[in-house]
Amino acid sequence: MSFDSKSILALSGRLLMLTGDIAMQIRMNSPYNSRYDHRDKQHGVNVLFLSDLLHHFETLGRAIGYAEHEPEKSCVLVDLVQGAFAQYREPFDGKPPAVEIFRAHGIDLDYVDGLLAHFAASLEESLQNTGSDLH
């Protein structure tokens, strides 16, 4: 499972598809949806967590950009995102975990975690093959 251009391209494609899925769910929780009810506070909570999830994709884009020439930086960025995503599994402000909101909107955080774990493992292997080590 080493890092190569094909695997990074496949990861990028999957992340772009997820970006579109998340953006669609944000739109479905906005006035653009005919079933939107401005009195339903859950719409705002949904948009908050969905957009928070989406903003981490910027960091993933940076990680992908560094992957070939600076895999150490990529590893650090992927670790940051994995840590942030782990927090989505914890209750927030006395409310259920955000992962439940994602699940209700068809966003599978386990799938995203799997993509990141595969990317991280590929980066680690690439570092080992070049004689570098993060530890």
Q: Where are the domains of the chain?
A: 5-130
Instruction: Tell me what pLDDT residue 117 has.
Output: 93
Mean pLDDT by 10-residue block, N- to C-terminus, for the chain (135 residues)? 73 93 93 84 91 95 90 94 96 90 95 92 83 57
Write the CB contacts of 119 (distance below 8 Å, at least 6 apart in sequence).
11, 63, 67, 78
What crossing angle do the helices spanning 41-67 and 71-87 adopt, rounded to 10°? Answer: 160
Instruction: Tell me what pLDDT residue 135 has.
Output: 47
Q: Which of 16, 29, 14, 20 is nearest to 101 (CA)?
A: 29
Query: Would the pTM of this model clear 0.75, i.e. be above it?
Result: yes
Instruction: Tell me what pLDDT residue 35 has.
Output: 82
Instruction: Tell me what pLDDT residue 131 has.
Output: 67
Instruction: Tell me what pLDDT residue 134 has.
Output: 54
Instruction: Tell me what pLDDT residue 56 has.
Output: 96
Instruction: Tell me what pLDDT residue 91 has.
Output: 93
Q: What is the largest CA-CA distance in the chain?
A: 58
Instruction: Tell me what pLDDT residue 1 has.
Output: 45
